[in-house]
Structure 1
Amino acid sequence: MTGVEITPLGDAALEVRSARARELLADLSARPLPGVWEAVPALNVLTVLYDPLAVEAEDLAARLTARLADLCPQQAEKGQTHVLPVTFAGPDLAWCAAHAGLSVPDFVQALCSVTLTVAFLGFTPGFAFLTGLPEELQMPRLTTPRERVPAGSVALGGPWAGVYPRETPGGWRLVGRTEVALFDLQRPAAVLWQAGDRVRFEAGP
């Protein structure tokens, strides 16, 4: 099928490049393929880790191609929806509003009206790259990253939104903060969200 590229990564993984990679992940979660250990998503990429003693790369690639051809669009929409209460008082909030040509209240309202999607996880445990920002809410990254960004900071960087699960360095624009724990080893599922989940911000006190 067109628009799909499947290439080996070593002798126990295949990299699937497709605009429907997230849908394929949902399908593999619902209907696992024999010999597949894990599927790790990125943006329009799915890395499929498998047991080379249980399945050959060529056979697995053929099965993945067939799965992609049979996907229904609804299969990408089975994730959870997370509503994060946010205190919008970040150090870059006024700058971002001015950059968007909006007042601060209108900027906050615009940001809270957007439903974002977890494209993939990375950078630090629990950090989700959230896609779906309209162009007018996309902000340039800082020229010089901050050495310390507090845990829970809600940030905008390029086409992405994100929330810092822990205190780390960071170069995105900080617009608010949430108290929701995104990464907690005491929970059965330590990470709050998964690729394909939907996220909305809700203005709080």
Structure 2
Amino acid sequence: MSLRVPRFLPCGDTAVTVEFGTEIDDGLNALCLAFDAALTDAAIPGVIETLPTYRSVLVQVDPLVIDMPAFETRVHAILASLKQSGAPPRRWIIPVVYGGAFGIDLDDVARSHGISTEEVIRRHCSRTYRVAMLGFLPGFCYLSGADPSIALPRRISPRLKTPAGTVSIGGVQALFASVEAPSGWHLLGRTPVRNFMPDRDPVFLVGAGDEVVFRPIPAAAWDDLDAAAAAGRPVAEVVTA
């Protein structure tokens, strides 16, 4: 595995960002996830928590237990023997109701590209997405692998509120949301899947490194699936890629 030399960027006196690159790239993201897992397994005294992203890993540290030179030495040692997992990723089949009240931007996205709403849905569902990171709010899945033919810049005027379960696109990224939140993304549909439930085990259903495929379902199926998801059932189907 070809490794990039990381940059260490202090974030105050109790955290540091270990940065491996500056672009959105699946290989770079895989490196971040592998490093995050190896750092967790190393159980280094003074390392409190880690947060992997597209291109870096934020590490919270206790400076009274480990100083930055010692931490950097441990990081380089981990990277020298880092191996990417050979296990196939989990692939989640996520049900989505597209358009109408569930996806209020679907018509605009289709009109912007001069295609039908059915074609937007087909292209959106034809991809296998990779979960690059969870971020912004608990359980938000940032997905790489979006179809560039339906990409649009984010909205000029973000909405102050979008519903939990929103499935959307913004630039070259795709997303499915976990909780109600502001958003400048384009809303294509909505899934009943609860990716974040604090009282459920596991709290997060879909995780970084997993794969996601969206499957369209009729609006008539929403109520039953939403009730099942609210009761703690996964609703999404999981298979091994």
TM-score w.r.t. structure 1 length?
0.85
Counterpart position of 2:48? 37
Rounded to whole Å, the distance in 1 between the matches of 2:43 and 2:130 is: 23
Counterpart position of 2:24? none
Which 5+ residue runs of structure 1 have no aligned equivalent?
Answer: none
Residues 169 and 26 of structure 1, relative CA distance in 2, 3 Å threshold:
same
Counterpart of 1:87 in 2: which secondary structure? strand
Rounded to whole Å, the distance in 1 between the matches of 2:93 and 2:79 is: 31
Counterpart position of 2:203? 190
After superposition, residues 23-172 of structure 1 pair within 5 angstroms as 23-74=34-85, 80-89=90-99, 90-172=103-185
How big is the shift at 1:133?
1.2
Rounded to whole Å, the distance in 1 between the matches of 2:88 and 2:70 is: 28
Counterpart of 1:192 in 2: which secondary structure? coil
Residues 109 and 190 of structure 1, relative CA distance in 2, 3 Å threshold:
same
How big is the shift at 1:153?
1.6
Rounded to whole Å, the distance in 2 between the matches of 1:41 and 1:185 is: 20
Contact in 1 for aligned 2:124/2:147 (Cα 8 Å)? no
Contact in 1 for aligned 2:32/2:57 (Cα 8 Å)? yes
Rounded to whole Å, the distance in 1 between the matches of 2:202 and 2:92 is: 15
**Which amino acid is 1:198 matched to?**
E
Rounded to whole Å, the distance in 1 between the matches of 2:159 and 2:50 is: 33
Among candidates 186, 189, 199, match of residue 173 of structure 1: 186
How big is the shift at 1:79?
5.0
Counterpart of 2:195 in 1: which secondary structure? coil
The superposition leaves residues 62-118 of structure 1 with CA deviations (integer Å, 9 ceiling, x where unpaired) of: 22123223323436x665332210011212112223434443223222211212222
RMSD: 2.3
Counterpart position of 1:15? 17
Rounded to whole Å, the distance in 2 between the matches of 1:111 and 1:93 is: 11
**Which amino acid is 1:72 matched to?**
K
**Which amino acid is 1:11 matched to?**
D
Counterpart of 1:111 in 2: which secondary structure? helix
Rounded to whole Å, the distance in 2 between the matches of 1:102 and 1:72 is: 44
Q: Does 1:4 align with 2:32?
A: no
**Percent of paired sites with the same residue:** 35
TM-score w.r.t. structure 2 length?
0.74
Residues 71 and 113 of structure 1, relative CA distance in 2, 3 Å threshold:
farther
